[in-house]
Structures are given as structure tokens and as C-alpha cells.
Amino acid sequence: KVHTAAKQQSAQVSVSTATNELSPRLSPTKKTYTLEECDVEDIVYILRPLLDGKKWQDYKEKIFECVRQEQLSGAKLKSMKPKDSATLMRDYCGKMVYGKMLTIFRSLTRTSTIEIIREMRILSLDMCNVADILLILREHLHEYLNHADVQEDKENIIVCVESSQMDGQKLKNMNVSTFVQEVKEYYETGDETDDAKVTAQVRKIYEALIKFDFESNTVYRASKF
């Protein structure tokens, strides 16, 4: 088995637009799937803890982008040779990822079942722990983190949220100025114009977190594996 509940992270799950309820396959009570049953977001979820090391910081978001762009569901990966999947990743993300992704894809295509643990749906900012906030930033608000004005500082923003233990309650209890001030302690542009641009984007990140729509974006918290 491949156990794929990311370290203190949640899995994003799709919602049936017809009934506005979770499909039976994606119910939090169902945990074990074949690779063919895994959709694109399941594959991102499986890969995340496997790319957790510092070595992969510069590559993992690009890898997730490739999975989504190429619609690499479990069924599609199963139909491809692992070396072809790894080559696709190499062409998209650079030669550094080839060996690692080849190992992962070989393991995935050989496994009979995959365990994905989804425990609790996050319904409001108040319910969010620090890991939930980090997942929301990376998975749902990535366009804010990848904005040109903060591109070079996005990991510093993540480190700040983690180090300052900014859970949902803490974010709600601070104001935007306090959030900006805390984040600014983790980066230094040395240029007033650049500093103003980064500050403006950091404010937008805070506002996006505070206004995050938990009804439209289904988020589950997962246990450690």
C-alpha cells in the first residue's frame, strides 16, 4: 500500500455540482482506492508528502502544475509507461526531477491499492490549524503567492506563517497591518519601490485568506501517515 495522507495537510476534494454533495467515492469514510480510481487532485495529494524535502522546494509546485495541466489522473498514469510519465515531468520541470519521478511512478503503477485518509471537512477559517492555512495558500491561493511582486519571497511568507503559528483564529484576531509587519520581518528587498509592491501583495494575501470561500472550495484535513 502507498499511504498518502500528507503531513498535517488536507486533501482538496471535488464536489458534485448536480447535488452539491460529495460523491460516494470521495466521502471521508472511504479510504482505499486503486490507482485507476484516483483523479488529478488525488495524484497531487499523493505526490505532496513524497516531495517534502528541501531539495524539492524549487520543483514541487511546478510538478503539481504539470499534473494538473497534463491531466495526469491515476488512469492516465496507469496507461503510460513510468519512464514516459517521468520524461513528461522532465520536459516540464527540468532534468533534475527525472530520477525521482521515475521511482515514484514505478511504485505507483505497481501498487494494488492506495490509501488516502480524509478526516474532517474545514468549513470556516476558525477551524483552520497552521497546516490548513499553508495548504490553502499553496493549493487555493497560489496565484497570490506566485504573483511577480512576491515570487522571490513566497517561501519566506510560508516560513512566516509556519513559524508564527498563524492558524485561522490568529489570522482573524490580527489586522492586515500586523500581518504585513510580521511577514516583512522575513524578507528584505532593500528597495523602497520593491518594498511597496511586496507590501501591497502581502496585504492581498491576507485579505484573500480572511475572505476565503469554504463553500466553493472543498477542503479536508488529513491525518499523518
Position 189 scores a pLDDT of 53
Instruction: Note the pTM of the prediction, 2 decimals.
Output: 0.50
pLDDT at 17: 25
Q: What is the DSSP string of 170-193?
A: HHHHS-HHHHHHHHHTT---S-HH
Calculate the average pLDDT of the chain.
Answer: 79
Contacts of 55 by beta carbon, 8 Å cutoff, 6+ apart = none
Instruction: Flag whether pLDDT at 48 surpasses 70.
Output: yes
Chain centre to alpha carbon of residue 101: 18
Question: What CA–CA distance (Å, rounded) separates 46 from 178?
Answer: 35
Q: Residue 132 pLDDT > 80, yes or no? A: yes
Greatest Cα pair distance in the chain: 56
Q: For residue 210, which amino acid is it?
A: I
pLDDT for the residue 164: 92
What's the whole-number mean pLDDT along residues 71-98?
A: 94
The C-alpha atoms of residue 56 and residue 204 are separated, in whole angstroms, by 27
Mean pLDDT of 15-25: 31
Strands 114-115 and 32-33: antiparallel
Please measure the distance between the N-terminal and C-terminal CA atoms of the chain and give it in whole angstroms: 12
Residue 18 one-letter amino acid: A
The answer to whether residues 75 and 36 touch, using CB atoms and an 8 Å cutoff, is yes
What is the share, in percent, of the chain residues with pLDDT greater than 90? Answer: 36
What is the average per-residue pLDDT within 2-16? 33
